[in-house]
Amino acid sequence: MLNIVIFGAPGSGKGTQSEKLIERYGLQHISTGDLLRSEIKANSELGQLADSYMSKGQLVPDKVVVDMLEALVSKCNKCKGFIFDGFPRTIAQGEALDAMLKKYTVKVDVVLSLKVPDEELITRLLKRGEVSGRSDDNRETIVNRLQVYYDQTAPLKDYYSKQGNLVEIPGQGSIDEIFTHIATAVDRIIN
Ligand code: ADP
């Protein structure tokens, strides 16, 4: 199994690069943001709860997200591996993911950390907001999301760096250029 965490601030290109990873390595994509948005669309109880956090740019509580993920991982018995996109977002989620994978005697093999300066992130997210219809792609919420990223999510870089599986990827340039860096890092692991 090959388990990849794609890591980075909002707007760093996690979703875009995940699509290319799926195409090349045939892994199962798990985007907690997409999953939560489909719950919102379905107007489920979970969706209503998630929306009350997401529309403000706050994180959905760890337990809610971890339970949702655990259900998916446990269902996938013939998977070649996962791309975790937008998860983990806190140290507690990182620990929960390690514990979850350990049950199947697998682990996170590589954490691809996309590095993009704040000004570019804000520009990208505002631009996405013009077409995405996402309630969190507006200036006020974007600034909150970046703050939440630095306070709660960025500490995971240290967590994974200590485990020895963090790879920094330059997140600026063309989509294909960025993916070349990603594929080099992943191929080094599987070969
Ligand atoms: P982005 O990375 O561009 O912010 P996402 O779709 O990954 O987009 O996340 C959107 C929102 O969904 C987050 O701001 C947060 O409210 C919620 N969310 C997604 N993943 C998680 C997670 N792992 N833990 C808590 N909240 C999450």
Ligand 1 near 10 CB (within 6 A): yes
The three-state DSSP-derived secondary structure of the chain is CEEEEEECCCCCCHHHHHHHHHHHHCCEEEEHHHHHHHHHHCCCHHHHHHHHHHCCCCCCCHHHHHHHHHHHHHHCCCCCEEEEECCCCCHHHHHHHHHHHHCCCCCCCEEEEEECCHHHHHHHHHHHHHHHCCCCCCHHHHHHHHHHHHHHHCCHHHHHHHHCCEEEEECCCCHHHHHHHHHHHHHHHHC
Ligand 1 near 171 CB (within 6 A): no
What pLDDT, in 10s, does the model give residues 12-37?
999 999 999 999 999 999 999 999 99
Atom of ligand 1 at shortest distance to CA of 58?
16
Could you list the active site residues? 14, 89, 128, 134, 145
pTM here is 0.96
% of the chain residues with pLDDT over 70: 100
Confidence of residue 76 (pLDDT cuts 50, 70, 90): confident
What pLDDT, in 10s, does the model give residues 106-155?
999 999 999 999 999 999 999 999 998 888 999 999 999 999 999 999 99
Confidence of residue 79 (pLDDT cuts 50, 70, 90): confident
Across the strands, what pairs with 56?
none
pLDDT at 77: 78
Give all domains of the chain, ordered by start, each with its CATH number. 2-184 (3.40.50.300)
Ligand 1 centre to CA of 32 (Å) is 6
Ligand 1 near 93 CB (within 6 A): yes
Ligand 1 near 6 CB (within 6 A): no
